[in-house]
Amino acid sequence: MDSMSLIGRKIAGRFEIEALVGEGAMGAVFRARQIALGTTVAVKVLHRPLTSDPSFAARFLREAQAASRIDHPSSMRVIDFGEQDDGLLFMATEYLDGRTLADVLDEVGPMPAPRIIDIASQILAALAVAHEMNVVHRDLKPENIMLLEGEDDEGCRHDIVKVCDFGVAKLLEQQGSGSRVTGEGLIVGTPAYMSPEQARGESLDARSDLYSMGVLLFQMMTGAVPFDATTAVATALMHVTDEPTRPRAINPSIDERLEAICLKAMRKRREDRFSNAREMRAELRGLCTYSSTDLPAPLPAETRAQGLLSQVEPMPRRSPLAVLAISATVLAVVIAAGTLVQHRGASVSAALTENMQDASSSTATASAASANSMARSPSPPMEPSQVPIAAPVATPPVVASAPVDASKPGAHAAPTKVSKPPAATSSETKSAPAPRTAKSGKRTGSKHPPSKPTDAGAPTVSNAPNAMDEPLPVFPDPPPEPLPAPPAP
d(CA 237, CA 227): 9
Strand order in the sheet with 78-83: 10-11, 15-23, 27-34, 40-46, 89-94, 78-83
d(CA 166, CA 95): 16
Contact 96, 76 (CB under 8 A): yes
Return the SS3 of 97: coil
d(CA 24, CA 46): 10
Question: Which residues form the catalytic set?
Answer: 139
Continuous H helices in 93-195: 101-108, 113-132, 168-175
Contact 158, 151 (CB under 8 A): yes
Return the SS3 of 93: strand
Residue 349 sits at φ, ψ, to 5 deg, of -60, -40
Contact 17, 23 (CB under 8 A): no
Q: Is 469 exposed, middle or buried (0-12, 13-18, 19+ CB in 10 A)?
A: exposed
> Among 92, 91, 107, 184, which Cα is nearest to 142's?
107
Q: What is the largest CA-CA distance in the chain?
A: 188
Return the SS3 of 150: strand
- Dihedral angle, C-alpha 97, 71, 173, 3, nearest 10 °: -40
| Neighbour count for residue 486 (Cβ, 10 Å) | 11
One-letter amino acid at 45 equals V
